[in-house]
Amino acid sequence: MGKRVNMQKDSTITIIGAGMAGTLQAVLLAQRGFRVSLFERNPDPRKGDAPAGRSVNLALGERGRFALDTAGLLEKVDTFSIPMRGRMLHSPEGEQRLQPYGKDDTEVIYSVHRARLNECLLDAADDLEELSIRFNHQLDRIDWDTNQAWFKCSEDSGEIAHGFKVLIGTDGAGSALRRSMQTQADLGVSEELLETGYKELSIPPGENGEPLLDPNALHVWPRGGFMLIGLANMDNSFTMTLFLDNHASDNNRGFDELENWPAQLDFMNEYFADAVPLIPDLEREFKQNPIGLLGTIRCKKWHMDSKALIIGDAAHAIVPFHGQGVNAAFEDCVALMECLQEIEPGGEINWKEVFSELQDRRIANANAIADMALENYEIMRESVRHEGFLLRKELEHELERRHPGHFIARYSLVMFHRIPYAEAYRRGEIQAGILDELLKGASSLDDVDFETAARLINHKLNTV
């Protein structure tokens, strides 16, 4: 980031939602001297009585890690991050094959326990005297004429009003702030629900505490129309997620066929036979764990004048197949700090201008990662199974080695770099054209004309 500037110390900012983006944004703002009031509907998760959240662990890439580093938290997060060097593909016959993510072992993504990451952020928030967190406060409604936000407090079943100057909504995909803003201004919201849902299952550690799968890989059982994935946790257990259509169709299986135990077990044995013996609580987990919804939310406007801004899932929820939701939300937080520094540094803050700048910088990028995340579902559940895809990956990595800084696989641009998502998308399209041309009639790298490759790359791509 650029040079630090003195922010207006008396500006108080109200943030709704102490999840991933909200807590990091609050920490970054308080570190710069802003007073921040952070409200969260759930109890303090560190006190052990919070409801179970969705998805136990997540993949963090360079964007998320950079944001954590900006807040001085990366070292701590690294103590509970597990590097994953590639996808371990499980065939129907139970064979395992590693597809590396990057061009070499330095390019890895990290499996991180969601609750621990949230707790780490909350601990950092507690250390900042400019920041106050109120748990058990659920935003209910906003009086935009008097600038009062009303919260339901589960502690005493009462309601409180909180006067605000500036509101930031990080209250997730179902954002109450977004809904309230929409009563005042057209945010151009589109919500697109995916036909696929998900259910979490788990593999505990072995009898001696050992991991039952390779912890340094993201395990994938791609089965065409659906898939099972698994990420390691620090205690050597694995969190598994079954992604499957909600309704069966002529060419796909669906959760609605799996309503009773024999049907669930038969399905798992038919497609994931090597995983079944590792999931001892399969029957209970199928019964108890809900089927989660997945979807994409896009907004054409993220702010309402100088009063309110939405970021993270509240502004751009995406499907989880690129492992980028938190990464993108964290990137919003850093981008807001950059806008604050660049616009009228040291002077009276024009929030409308800051919010508008952030929106301009981020919307195209949010849309690009939303599209790439949708595309990646097809890749993960289907394409990875085909030799043609493997050859394409091999060629991408070879071109990266031969043309460093010029040709970088789109997956790598998203996971291991911080170039804007929209730019990664644009370069990815050009690179896809180059790969198509080079792979015409090729069945191995020996068939590829690397002189043509050099010419095309020099002609079509500049440095990253």
The reply to whether 62 sits near ligand FAD by the rule CB under 6 A is no
55 binds ligand FAD (CB under 6 A): yes
Pairing of strands 308-310, 166-169: parallel
Residue 240 binds ligand FAD, judged by CB under 6 A? no
CB of 297 to ligand FAD, least distance (A): 11
Which residue(s) pair with 60 in the sheet? 110
Give me the residue label for tokens 């789109």: 410
What backbone phi and psi angles, to 5 degrees, belong to 132? -120, 140
Determine the Cα–Cα distance for residues 1 and 205; give it in Å rounded to an integer: 41
Q: Near ligand FAD by CB under 6 A, which window of 1-9, 128-136, 325-333, 364-372?
A: 325-333
220 lines the binding site for ligand FAD (CB under 6 A) = no
d(C-alpha 129, C-alpha 249), whole Å? 55
Give the integer Cα–Cα distance in Å for 30 and 37. Answer: 10
Give the SS3 label for residue 71: coil
Nearer to ligand FAD, 39 or 411 (CB): 39
Q: How far is the CB of 112 from ligand FAD (least distance, A)?
A: 8
Strands (E), 306-391: 308-310
Q: Which is nearer to ligand FAD, 324 or 356 (CB)?
A: 324
Q: Which is nearer to ligand FAD, 18 or 380 (CB)?
A: 18
One character per residue 392-411, x = contact with ligand FAD (rule: CB under 6 A): --------------------
Pairwise CA distance, residues 394 & 388, whole Å: 10
Q: Which stretch binds ligand FAD (CB under 6 A): 85-93, 125-133, 249-257, 310-318?
A: 310-318
Burial of 108 (0-12, 13-18, 19+ CB in 10 A): buried
How many Cα atoms occupy the beta-carbon half-sphere of 85 within 13 Å? 10
From the CB of 167, what's the least distance to ligand FAD, in Å?
11
Examine residue 40 and tell whether it contacts ligand FAD (CB under 6 A): yes
Among 58, 297, 309, 456, binds ligand FAD (CB under 6 A): 58
Give least dist CB 306 to ligand FAD, A.
22
Is 152 in contact with 159 (CB distance < 8 Å)?
yes
Question: How many residues in the chain?
Answer: 464
Residue from 4, 9, 54, 97 in contact with ligand FAD (CB under 6 A) = 54
- Of the candidates 311, 239, 264, the one whose C-alpha atom is nearest the C-alpha of residue 53 is 239
Among 14, 31, 70, 170, binds ligand FAD (CB under 6 A): 170
313 belongs to the binding site for ligand FAD (CB under 6 A): yes
Query: Using the rule CB under 6 A, is 230 a contact of ligand FAD?
Result: no
Judge contact between 83 and 39, C-beta under 8 A.
no
Position 169 contacts ligand FAD (CB under 6 A) = no
**Running DSSP on this structure, what letter comes out for residue 51?**
P
In angstroms, give the least distance from the CB of 333 to ligand FAD. Answer: 9
Convert residues 101-120 into a mask of x (bound to ligand FAD by CB under 6 A) and - (unbound).
--------------------
Residues 6+ apart with CB under 8 A from 406: 457, 458, 461, 462, 463, 464
Binder of ligand FAD out of 230, 323, 420, 428 (CB under 6 A): 323
User: Segment 5-24, which members bind ligand FAD (CB under 6 A)?
Assistant: 16-22
CB nearer ligand FAD, residue 40 or residue 62: 40
Amino acid at 225: G
Query: CA 167, CA 175: separation in Å to the nearest integer?
Result: 13
- DSSP annotation of 103 reads S
> Measured between alpha carbons, how far is residue 239 from residues 113, 191, 200, 283 in Å?
10, 28, 7, 16
Q: Is 365 in the site for ligand FAD (CB under 6 A)?
A: no
Q: Name which of 172 and 215 has its Cβ closer to ligand FAD.
A: 172
Q: Which is nearer to ligand FAD, 41 or 219 (CB)?
A: 41
User: How many other β-carbons are positioned within 10 Å of the β-carbon of residue 114?
Assistant: 18
Nearest of 191, 160, 203, 151 to residue 17 by alpha carbon:
151
- 244 touches ligand FAD by CB under 6 A: no
39 in contact with ligand FAD (CB under 6 A)? yes
- Minimum distance, C-beta of residue 250 to ligand FAD, in the bound complex (Å): 27
Q: Where are the beta strands (DSSP E) in 196-237?
A: 196-203, 218-222, 227-232
Least CB distance to ligand FAD at residue 93 (A): 27
For strand 57-60 and strand 295-298, is the pairing parallel, antiparallel, or unpaired? unpaired
Which CB atom, from 12 or from 458, has the smaller least distance to ligand FAD? 12
Q: Which segment (39-47, 65-73, 123-131, 451-459) binds ligand FAD by CB under 6 A?
A: 39-47
| Chain residues that interact with ligand FAD, rule: CB under 6 A | 16-22, 39-42, 54-55, 58-59, 138-139, 170-172, 176, 198, 241, 292, 312-314, 320, 323-327, 329
